[in-house]
Amino acid sequence: MEAFAHRLIRWQRAHGRHDLPWQGGDAYRVWLSEIMLQQTQVATVIPYFRRFISSFPDVATLASASVDDVLAHWSGLGYYARGRNLHKAAQLIMQQHAGQFPQSMQLIETLPGVGRSTAAAVAALAFHQQHAILDGNVKRVLARWKGIAGWPGEKQVEEKLWQLAESLLPEQAGGKQHIAIYTQALMDLGATVCTRGKPSCDRCPVNADCIAKAEQRTAQLPTPRPKKIIPEKHATFLLLLHGSDILLQKRPEQGIWGGLWCPPQLDDGQGVVEDYLALHGWQVAERSELPEFSHAFTHFKLHLTPVVLRVQEKPGRMEQAESMWLDVGEALLAGIPTPVRKMLQQLGGEILI
């Protein structure tokens, strides 16, 4: 039977995606897209990518931008460490590589936020080097095609998949020059044919020797992550308002929504709202609550109750440097996490009319 790589390359030419805005082999654009595509779908990424590229068209512009500006462009994509790492990596490329995107896989992998698969994707797509990728989509394709059971997040299973990915490279099948097409083919197959829910095996170029298809195990493979109980936490968001201005604080770099702007947060066990107000000397003229909302993080679920507090006066001087009053409309343009954006939109509609 024709080699796996050859079948994929032929399929990509006829049925793969050829009009994604980061295609064309420019390392900066490929890298940016790869970081954005971690944990995020192509359709969601495209408008973010276009906006990002029009503001930061190259490494130098990105490196000289403020991290706040970068995070404002990232706002809504989630996993904000990716945005901060992107910015750090651009500065490192300027300082240590004279502004030239590093070409070797080993050097690419030293950039903040770049793991083995991302580095391999950039090396293959931009520099036509023989390296195997293994992102979530590729893990699914290979686990099904070769019938590899076990959760791919487990070290041993992942190692098996890496070995398989390496062994399937076009280099092994005499098609070295087609590594970029092959790499794109794997991504396209995972995203458009061998999809999570219901793979379209009839349209798949490697269906003739796919074990999951032959054994009707596509619903079981890849093995899902073992279930664990996600802890739940509760907190209060203090929406301090003065006219149409709201108080926002920059969150510490470490932790959830690191470096983004949010209303002050009172975690369970940190006292009641009245104590917080008394501590800061706030005089509240009016108080109300918005409906509770929840946000699922990787390791826990957070339930937030937004309390709207209209203060009589703004303090002349903020006790924390990383605090600011912003008009709610302007706050929507700042680097804020999606749940806060939704809450501010609701606030704008309900409270400020």
Which residues contact ligand SF4 (rule: CB under 6 A)?
141, 144-145, 193-194, 199, 201, 204, 206-207, 210, 212-213, 218
For the chain, how long is the longest CA-to-CA vector?
Answer: 78
Is 209 or 274 the residue whose CB approaches ligand SF4 more closely? 209
Compute the distance between CA of residue 171 and CA of residue 261 in angstroms, rounded to an integer.
48
Distances (CA, A) of 233 to 45, 127, 228, 251, 304: 30, 46, 16, 18, 9
State yes or no: is 34 an active-site residue.
yes
Cα(13)–Cα(15) distance, integer angstroms: 6
The three-point CA angle 288-290-295 to 5° equals: 145
Q: Minimum Å distance from CB 39 to ligand SF4?
A: 21
In angstroms, what is the minimal distance from the CB of 204 to ligand SF4? Answer: 3
CA of residue 196 relative to chain centroid, distance = 18
Compare residues 119 and 141 and give the one whose CB is closer to ligand SF4. Answer: 141
Residue in the block written with tokens 């899902």: 224
Query: Is residue 277 a contact partner of residue 271, using CB atoms and an 8 Å limit?
Result: no
Pick the catalytic residue: 34, 215, 322, 330?
Answer: 34
In angstroms, give the least distance from the CB of 67 to ligand SF4.
Answer: 40
Min dist CB 22 to ligand SF4, Å, is: 24
Dihedral pair phi/psi, residue 19, rounded to 5°: -125, 25
Backbone angles phi, psi at 172, to 5 degrees: -70, -20
Whichever of 187 and 343 has its CB closer to ligand SF4, that residue is 187
- CB within 8 Å of 312: residues ≥ 6 apart: 283, 284, 285
DSSP labels for 81-105? HHHHHHHHHHHHHHHHSTTPPP-SH
State how far the Cα of 233 lies from the Cα of 294, in Å rounded to an integer.
10
Which residues are catalytic, by number?
34
